[in-house]
Structure 1
């Protein structure tokens, strides 16, 4: 197994550790785990492309690991009362819809690359979640709800990117 795939597996293994640590109340430690796992997502893709280590396992598991990490964090934040459940439902619905669309495309030999709005969605989620985990630290001291701002941007980008994927690939819906 190559290094990018090992990093993907490490991210998957980190998810239950993150959940337990967060739900036990160790938000700072959970945030460190989340950020480290998120960084492995960027790192494994970079290494795989740079050294031509792209595998079918990585193509399938890397985006799945990313989605599982984000969903685990958001569901836990709903449990802790920090995020509205409807926001997580919107994000989950988009992820299932886009993943389903990609599966249909893959069955036809078509690859749907991540679009710019999807990348912005991911980035805003990866910023919002640590801010939410840390109760908007350090911005809470200056009265700027940056955690909520990034969460709302992430939800908006989730909707926009989901619509964009469906519109751009609507021909797949009739297959």
Structure 2
């Protein structure tokens, strides 16, 4: 297994620990900071695995499939955890997760038709806005930081919808090619 794939697996292994510290008081007063470090390290592995894979020509089918799945696990787990903590509403998280299911379905249909669908800039902007939002919601620094987090909630929701519409619009032929 190459380094980018190991980073992807590491990110997936970090998710249960992230959730454990997010939803319990196991770390006491340091819980928030432990959670924040886990999320930031996991987010950095997301950036690093792709850069390393492309730079060293280590792109694999495992990485193409598991990297987006690991990202979805991390981000969706964080957002689900925010519901009982009162930081996000269920309807918001449902929209985010529904988009991920739709895109994953599109990718499966495309894969069955030997079509590779590249990630768009809208999707990348969405992911970055979600990750910054999550970092600010975990840190809960108050004042202007909470205002920025609230703005990022709405920005990431808008980018989620925009990236979905863009993705479907650019790849609608996948559905017609698939015999649907």
Range class of TM-score, shorter chain: over 0.9
1:2 maps to what in 2? 2
Q: How far does residue 63 in structure 1 lie from its aligned partner after superposition?
A: 0.6
Question: For 1:166 and 1:143, how far apart are their aligned partners in 2?
Answer: 34
Query: Could you tell me which of 62, 79, 95 is aligned with 2:67?
Result: 62
2:57 maps to what in 1? 52
Question: For 2:124 and 2:146, how far apart are their aligned partners in 1?
Answer: 25
**Matched-pair contact (CA < 8 Å) for 2:8–2:67:** yes
Query: Could you tell me which of 87, 90, 93 is aligned with 1:85?
Result: 90
Query: Could you tell me which of 152, 165, 169 is aligned with 1:167?
Result: 169
1:153 maps to what in 2? 155
TM-score, normalised via structure 2 length: 0.92
Query: Could you tell me which of 131, 134, 148 is aligned with 2:136?
Result: 131
Q: Any unmatched runs of 5+ in structure 2?
A: 26-30
Please tell me the root mean square deviation across aligned C-alpha atoms, in Å: 1.2
Q: How far does residue 42 in structure 1 lie from its aligned partner after superposition?
A: 0.4
Question: For 2:165 and 2:96, how far apart are their aligned partners in 1?
Answer: 12
1:27 maps to what in 2? 32
Q: How far does residue 168 in structure 1 lie from its aligned partner after superposition?
A: 1.3
